[in-house]
Amino acid sequence: MADVSIDVAQFCRRLKRLYECWTTQQDGVWSGANVLAVAVGAPSEDLRYLKSNSLHLWLFGYELPETVMLFVPGKVLVLTSQKKATLLQPAVDAASKGDAGAVALEVLVKSKADDGAGLCSQLLDAARAASPSPVMGQLAKDKHTGKLMDVWTQAVTDSGLEQVDISGGVADLLACKDANEVLNVKKAALLAAKAMQNWVVPKVEDVVDSGKKMKHSKLSEMCEEAITDPQKVQVKLKADNCDIAYPPSFQSGGTYDLRVSAPSNDSALHDDGVIVVSLGTRYSSYCANISRSYIINPSKDQTQQYNALLAAQEAAIAALKPGAPLTAAGEAAVAALKSSGQEALIPLLSRNVGFGMGLEFREGSHVLPLPGSGKAAAAGDAAAPRVRPGMVFNVCLGASGLANPDATDPKARNYALQIADTVIVVEGGKPNEVATASAPKNYEKVTYTIQDEEEAGGPDGRLEDVTNGGPGAARGGAGAPGLKKALRSDDPTFKSAEQLRKEKQEELLKKKNEETLQRLTAQAGGAGGAGGPGGAVGRKVSETHAYRSVTEMPLARDLRIQVDNKAEAVLLPIYGVLVPFHITTIRNVTTTNDAGGDAALVRVTFNLGPSYEPNQRFPNAVFLKELSFRSSDVKHANKVALDIKLLRSSIAQRDKERAERATLVAQEKLVRGKKIFKLPDLWMRPAFPGKGRKVPGSLEAHANGFRYQTPKGEILDVMYRNIKHALFQPAENEMITILHMHLHNPIMVGNKKTKDVQFYTEVMDVVQTLDGGGRRNMYDPDELEDEQRERERRNKINGEFQQFVKRVQEMWGKDCPDLGLEWDIPFRELGFSGVPHRATVFLMPSVNCLVELTEMPFTVITLSDIEIVNLERVGFNLKNFDMAIVFKDFTREVLRVDAIPSKSLEGIKGWLTDMGIKYYESKLNLQWKPILKNILADPVGFVEQGGWDFLDMEKSDDEEEEGEASEEYAPSDSGGEEDDDSDDSDEDSEDASLEEEEDDDEVGDEDESEGKDWDELEEEARNADKARTYSDESDDERRGGAKKRKAGAPGPGGGAGPGAAGAAAKRRRP
């Protein structure tokens, strides 16, 4: 025990606290005991929670086996071995100096050969001498083994002293934790939450998703190994201090036991229904608990029950206020269930809603009972324990015996739900701290929808969101041996992916029209928006002055055009006088040389027009339009023109920067954090301006923002409150690993305003030099070694970025929870190619955005800002289509993503539906400016006419077919088919005369009885060739054709369709 020592200051402080609690409540929770005896026997490998062991840990920091402690007024006597006596000697010395108040510490040493009977008699004599009528308090429920324990128990029995149980007093003493104890509880809770989030959830998802068969007991063993090795759950804690509070519990498949002592059975984890997982952890012997219920294919009842249970748990946590009775939590939980309409859950709840925790996993005297339970009356007594600051509770809401009769899987029909968290009571009226809150428990994070293989159309059931009746059909009819698989056509409940998408899109349409109307009417009723022209921030031309007085003008030696850069003026000779003009009044200057080259003409054009600000201010004034000067000095004329242009350009650029800076939102100052996370060797985009070689810098995470700094002293601060989206894109198919910040308000980088700032590192050389030896063989060892080095470098850089992101995320969750910032990682598997700006790029969705971060200009589209998406030029014979994104702010320009491959269409439609975004399909590109203008002009009429439904291509086609069917003409069968081909392939045929059409119809009638001749067959072949050629036309030609076919810009009430112009049936001959 040479490396073990006792924290003497902590021992003295806690010993004083023990005597204070004992003396002040001796007749209460200490049951009138005036002598306390605490005995600990031989060590055991079993996981046991005994108050005697807890008292040892609380006082000394260690368990002292084979030790008896006797507490009498003013003194503590400890009977133990020689080694432990040596360990206790510093505490004895400190107590003798008065560090423990008026309490002394005396150690009685037992030799190995001594059975301790004499020393036990000495302790009992001290107990008798402490009081005329000694009452010895013991922990009667603690059962210990060992030779010394047998001797002590027999000696106490033979002594005839009165004995009482002091379990309540020890529990009350250990209930309120000090700062060090709370820190240990938080570390234990962090271990539990990270084990749930970083090990349990990925493992369960992998088992369910892959269809593996893994026993609950096996999962429990593996989880226990992960908890005792905190690196496996991505937590930096000392492994020696980490342990389990009880074996991890995994339950599924209809068999549930919500007791903590219930072991995980040997049944396989079931991939349907509810999976209940409970974890208990310990750090430095302090306990924490967490429980989560993960629901697969939830029903409507399960959704309501879980949300009600979650609300009841939050109500119970909020009710644990200092001074409140322990019954308050149960009463709040029951009231929350009643208010949510889930009274049926109350009889199914466990007997309590939690209990106190600390060195013991369950402190029996601090149970949170439900109203009507056996302990509720006692807890409501005035003398019953109450909530105090520093207490730690396991708040657990569990309901068992629930049924889902509609479940197709028999094992999913019975289920249970349980939510548990470790809660620390905080003083000062602040909300209680949920120490395990980092493990999500909101409904969206604990529910999954999984489809069978056959339903999804392939081995990977995640590809399509399809349901197909019961699981028996998808699994080859395993539930009915010898039967064939049921066909989809035989299942009345089967719905394809397209049908499900349509149903969800119909629901979205109703919500979208209502939201649009509310938003537009609210905007119309509020204050007006931005001003019109001239409302931009900047100086007014009418208020500028070149010179305040004539004395400020430079002296002129001769009448020549002069440029005064200091005064921002141009001096022009007019009628023998130099007249100054401020550079902002000049629009342009040009020079032309005479035919002989002996002279030059300088032409100065001034700003003019109704939108010109001085013209608006002085409408009756006369303005100068232009001046021309002829000069024999050609060189001087060209120099003057160049100087005027340079001055005008520099002043315009400076005014633009000034206006941009005037619109910037003031940023808070950076506060340096106590612990700074740093990521070195990063490049930034957009880069700092200036000449010279660019150098990489480092990114630091401080208390309230990031700071990027280069060795050249260039600094850029990005405040956390200004970050709208924080994105992390590891390098996979790209050459760079990226951290990207999309901001709420723009900031200045150099002299440019930007809302996107990116920091990146190249994981490999973007440019590779091929030497004269040519390309090496793929099996060349050097080539393989280079590839291995590149992979290692990429993995290393990705790992460094990942570590930085995790540390910053933890800091955000701890120090800035009100900001709700989370790092967003794009989903590469959902990405698609397109042209949002000028080049083809790969766009990837994330949880909150649609992004493209590799090429500049960046594309970051917030999904919550999107009103609708219109998929344009969608056709079976086209290789590409376009996407028009309409934002909720109708004054914002519609964003177009062109040339998206048609193979990505289904994936995009599925993603948009999952994100709750309404989309439409159209065959043509629409002119969105007039459409949005009409909607803004009459939002009520827009919604009354169907809202966005005018974009529904299928409904428009149905209406047109009905209109065409009502036309009164009777073409023959073969003629009708040929007419359709002719109309679709040749739209310019509408100029043909009516007489030719009638002649053609007559000829067609005569030929019908004889069948099609060669000319007609050739015409059909030409029409088919034209249809194929149409799909290969360029984008510009297609759009130009679309504009010709449109009968004008479609308004919100409808669009231009094939039957809008009243097309007639036609037949043509070559």
Residue-by-residue DSSP string for 667-726: PPPP---SS-EEEEEEEEESPPPSSS----EEEEE-SSEEEEE-TTS-EEEEEGGGEEEE
> What pLDDT is recorded for position 845?
94
Q: Contact at 8 Å (CB) between 728 and 825?
A: yes
Contact 887, 865 (CB under 8 A): yes
Q: pLDDT tens digits, residue range 332-366?
A: 999 999 999 999 999 999 889 999 999 999 988 89
Cα distance between residue 315 and residue 310, in whole Å: 9
Q: pLDDT at position 398, please? A: 94
Q: What percent of the chain has pLDDT over 70?
A: 80
What is the CATH class of 677-766+780-824?
Answer: mainly beta
DSSP string, 1026-1049: HHHHHTTS-HHHHHHHHHHH-SS-
- Range with lowest mean pLDDT among 363-367, 374-378, 427-431, 1037-1041: 1037-1041
Contact (Cβ atoms closer than 8 angstroms) between residue 1004 and residue 972? yes
Omega before 202 within 30 of 0, i.e. cis: no
Higher pLDDT, 912 or 516: 912
Tell me how many degrees the CA angle 925-931-935 measures, rounded to the nearest 5: 150
Whether 306 has a pLDDT exceeding 90, the answer reads yes
pLDDT of residue 651: 84
157 vs 529, more confident: 157
Give me the residue spans of the domains in the chain.
Answer: 8-175, 179-441, 544-662, 677-766+780-824, 828-956
The residue that leads in pLDDT, 292 or 780, is 292
| pLDDT, tens digit, 9 for 90 and up, residues 224-236 | 999 999 989 988 8
Q: Is 544-662 a domain of CATH 2.30.29.210?
A: yes
State the burial class of residue 507 (Cβ atoms within 10 Å of its Cβ: 0-12, 13-18, 19+). exposed
* Residue of 668 and 680 predicted with greater confidence: 680
pLDDT band at 489 (very low <50, low <70, confident <90, very high): very low
Cβ atoms 19, 103 nearer than 8 A: yes
Q: Give yes or no on whether 677-766+780-824 and 828-956 have one common fold.
A: yes
Of 553 and 447, the one with more pLDDT: 447
Q: What is the pLDDT of residues 838-882, one digit of tens each?
A: 899 999 999 899 999 999 999 999 999 999 999 999 987 889 999
Rounded mean pLDDT, 172-183: 92
pLDDT tens column, 44-97: 777 678 889 899 999 998 888 999 999 999 999 999 999 999 999 999 999 999
Q: What CATH number does the domain located at 828-956 have?
A: 2.30.29.30
Give the right CATH number for 8-175 from 3.40.50.2300, 3.40.630.30, 3.40.350.10, 2.40.50.90. Answer: 3.40.350.10
Share of the chain above pLDDT 90, in %: 41
- Asked if residue 487 has pLDDT above 90, the reply is no
Strand partners for 363: 356
Structure confidence at residue 497 as a pLDDT band (50, 70, 90): low
Count how many Cα atoms sit within 13 Å of the Cα of residue 81 in the half-sphere of its side chain.
Answer: 14
The 10s digit of each residue's pLDDT in 98-126 is 888 889 999 999 888 888 899 999 999 99
pTM of the model: 0.50
627 forms beta bridges with 604
Highest mean pLDDT among 461-470, 489-498, 676-685: 676-685
Tens-digit pLDDT profile for residues 456-484 = 444 343 323 333 333 333 333 333 333 33
Q: State how far the Cα of 849 lies from the Cα of 1001, in Å rounded to an integer.
A: 57
Residue-wise pLDDT tens digits, 585-632:
888 899 988 877 788 889 999 988 877 878 778 888 888 889 999 888
| pLDDT at residue 374, as a whole number | 58
pLDDT in tens, 765-821: 654 555 544 555 656 677 778 788 888 888 899 899 999 999 999 888 888 888 888
CATH code for the part of the protein at 179-441: 3.90.230.10
CA-CA distance, 92 to 475, in Å (whole number)?
73
Query: Average pLDDT of the chain?
Result: 80
Confidence band of 383 (pLDDT split at 50, 70, 90): low
Helix (H, G, I), strand (E, B) or coil at 352: strand
Which are the contacts of 256, defined by CB distance < 8 A and separation ≥ 6? Answer: 274, 276, 400, 414, 415, 416
Residue 1006: HSE in the Cβ half-sphere, 13 Å Cα cutoff: 5
